Amino acid sequence: MPSRRQPDPRSVVVLRAVAVASILAVILGGLAAGRGPAEAEAASPPHHDLAVAGVAVFDPGYILSDRVLSDSRSLNEAQVQSFLAEQAPGCAFTSETTCLRAYRSELPARAASTGGQCAALPRESGVLASRIVVQVAHACRINPKVLLVMLQKEQGLITAVSPTQRAYRVAMGYGCPDSAACDTEFYGFASQVYRAAKQLRSYLLDPAHWRYRVGPVLVKFNPQATCGAAVVDIRNQATAALYNYTPYQPNAAALANPHGQGDACSSYGNRNFWVAFTEWFGSPTGG
142-178, pLDDT tens digit by residue? 999 999 999 999 999 999 999 999 999 999 999 999 8
> Based on the domain organization, do 38 and 94 belong to the same domain?
no
Is 14 a domain residue? Answer: yes
Q: At 127, is the pLDDT very low, low, confident or very high (cuts 50, 70, 90)?
A: very high
Q: Across all residues in the chain, what is the average pLDDT?
A: 86
> Based on the domain organization, do 21 and 78 belong to the same domain?
no
pLDDT top residue among 55 and 83: 83
By C-alpha distance, which of 11, 36, 92, 20 is closest to 230? 36
Which residues lie below 8 Å from residue 42, measured CB to CB, with a gap of 6+? none
> Based on the domain organization, do 117 and 96 belong to the same domain?
yes
Task: State the DSSP H helix or E strand holding residue 215, giving kind and residue range, or none if neither.
Answer: strand 215-220
Is 2 a domain residue? Answer: no
Q: How many domains does the chain have?
A: 2
Report in angstroms the alpha-carbon separations of 273 from 52, 127, 154: 12, 26, 9
Residue 38 has pLDDT above 90, yes or no: no
Q: Which domain holds residue 52?
A: 9-64+213-281
The reported pTM is 0.85
